[in-house]
């Protein structure tokens, strides 16, 4: 669980449609968004662009409980989806999911890979790392939500594949994929031979010596 405290101010909006959303972005510097989930109806809101873009600079914002202040009430939410321009600082729309302290929910959290350069399969055996995924879908209570999941590659050898089941998940956190059975134990990262590398590095060194 992160120690960061994220708060966003939102305003209720009644207008809908692409035209109204464009006016919000261009004329008022606002980002159209929606809050949904729980027992309440989906509620269209708008956020200040500058406030949202500032929060998005922090990686933890994407996998953290956010206090969304809407009028006189506060909603506990997570950022579920974000539509943004691929190259410009333009946010088209944001989706926020309401969460309950007593109910599990699903979301994705980033994977942080450590000891990549000193991994046995890289430093000693000359392999190359390939990432199969950079985030993991998890299920947990809001109070157990991790900011990220650490993947330690220190002891990973050449030819070895790290699967979801190999990850050390925090207490109270479950992999959504693994909940569907062993067939969904997907690869996370592996160390393989570099392109053009010989199967026998020792003989390769001998040949270099003969030259």
135-180 confidence digits (pLDDT tens) = 999 999 999 999 999 999 999 999 999 999 999 999 999 999 999 9
Architecture in CATH for domain 106-192: Beta Complex (2.170)
Rounded percentage of the chain residues whose pLDDT exceeds 90? 73
Say what the pLDDT of residue 32 is.
92
* CATH class (in words) of the domain with range 6-99: mainly beta
The pTM of the full predicted model, rounded to 2 decimals, is 0.80
**The pLDDT of residue 196 is above 80:** no
Distance CA(32)–CA(21), nearest Å, equals: 6
Say what the pLDDT of residue 75 is.
94
DSSP state of 195: T
**Domain locations in the chain?**
6-99, 106-192
| Most confident range, picked from 28-32, 121-125, 203-207 | 121-125
């Amino acid at each position: 669980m992160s120690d960061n405290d994220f708060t966003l101010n939102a305003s209720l909006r009644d207008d809908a449609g692409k035209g109204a959303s464009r006016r919000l972005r261009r004329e008022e510097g606002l980002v159209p968004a929606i809050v949904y989930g729980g027992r309440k109806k989906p509620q269209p809101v708008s956020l200040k662009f500058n406030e949202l873009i500032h929060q998005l600079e922090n990686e933890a914002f994407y996998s953290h409980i956010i206090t969304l202040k809407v009028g006189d009430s506060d909603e506990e939410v997570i950022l579920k989806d974000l539509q943004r321009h691929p190259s410009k600082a333009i946010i088209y729309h944001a989706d926020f999911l309401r969460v309950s302290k007593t109910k599990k929910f699903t979301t994705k959290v980033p994977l942080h890979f450590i000891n990549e350069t000193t991994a046995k399969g890289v430093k000693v055996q000359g392999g190359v790392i390939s990432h199969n995924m950079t985030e993991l879908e998890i299920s947990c209570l809001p109070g157990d939500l991790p900011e990220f999941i650490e993947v330690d590659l220190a002891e990973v050898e050449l030819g070895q594949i790290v699967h979801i089941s190999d990850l050390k998940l925090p207490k109270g956190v479950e992999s959504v994929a693994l909940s569907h059975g062993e067939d969904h134990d997907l690869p996370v990262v592996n160390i393989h031979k570099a392109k053009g590398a010989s199967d026998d590095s020792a003989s390769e060194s001998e040949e270099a010596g003969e030259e």
